[in-house]
Chain A
Amino acid sequence: MALCDRIIGNGVGAKAVVAITGLMLTGFVMAHLSGNLLVFAGPEAFNKYAAGLKSLGGILWVARLGLLGIFILHLGLAIRLNLENKAARPQKYVNEATMEATFASRYMVQTGLLLFAFIIYHLAHYTFRVASDDVNAVPAEDVYGMVIAGFSNPIVSGFYVLAMAALAMHLKHGVSSAFQSLGIYHPNLNVVTQKLGPIIAAIVFVGFASIPVSVLMGCIK
């Protein structure tokens, strides 16, 4: 079909798909963060929230599969585009300068792949409960207890904070860049779109990293 070929088959179209799926995943990250921050409201509030999510049943699985589909599209197309980009310059410059490109923009693939590894570990850690004996010792209903048990290990917490730094870097470039890929560029909008990436990156990093850091410092037990 012509439309499908024009969107998926072409770089400009594929980038739009990467942009839209990226913004959707950012939306998920923000929702996930707002739920997680309930950990500071105490065990009751947090476990009630977790139980509420689990009670959604079928809807939860639809959401999970939808998220998986979005993730696969985002990752798959981004990797294909990157391979095309690498092939476009077989001979590198002997002396290469960088004039405008930000650090975050130059390491999107690396931060993205680190996040992929993190997501697998994170799911194994708390969702499938196969990565840590400390977490598995806590009953599955006590999600609050699992968080405390998991983050009491400094190495685990360190990896989480590192992954969140990668996520923040990825979003700093990715969110603002998504608008340009979708053709949204206007003096009236740029004040918002160009700051949105850095702002969301800061919120996501401080918000998520605060949880393992608080557990390690004994602020929440």
Chain B
Amino acid sequence: MPTKSPKSEPGLSTPPPNHEALEAEVLVRDNISWMLALAQRILRDQALAEDAVQNAFIAGLRGLPTFEGRSSVKTWLHRITVNECLMKLRKQKQLNEKPIDEYLPEFDRHNCRIEAPWPVLSRAEDFLESERTRALVAEKISVLPGTYRIVLQLRDIEGYSTDEVAELLEISPGNVKVRLHRARAALKKLLEPVLRGEVHR
């Protein structure tokens, strides 16, 4: 005689058949908005962001039964989303390593910095009041090769540590630091006309 499955034993608390589906829907509804915002910040494209979030949820829901709770669900989903976005960027060959030497600081033969005198700088808030300046800053950031922009994004915006960025991008922590500093230095150079007030805000 075949043994009865424990699920069919009366009196045992068996979840309703749609319990898992309900749990999945709650997880999706609770997290989809911030995940879309995150993916869009990284990918800068609505359709790609939606695709990345969909893949992230599918991977997340598949892995949910084995989720060990060593971090919060949000932290866990954040990382899955970032990974999906990185896969998209790699697939689109957007993590390119074009040189940015032309935007890096210059030094003379005595190892002294070559830097034209600066006027008194306005505060960041003053610059950010203007939509045109925001657009200009976004335009200059997009000049940075993807491999630099992503380090800036993950470390400065998404709050990952140097070691975490290194792990996500599969590069060494030292390389993350070099790229981050170069990205910021290049951006400073690219934004000079805006910061010096040479561009009408």
The judgment on whether A and B are partners is no
Residues of A within 8 A of B (CB): none
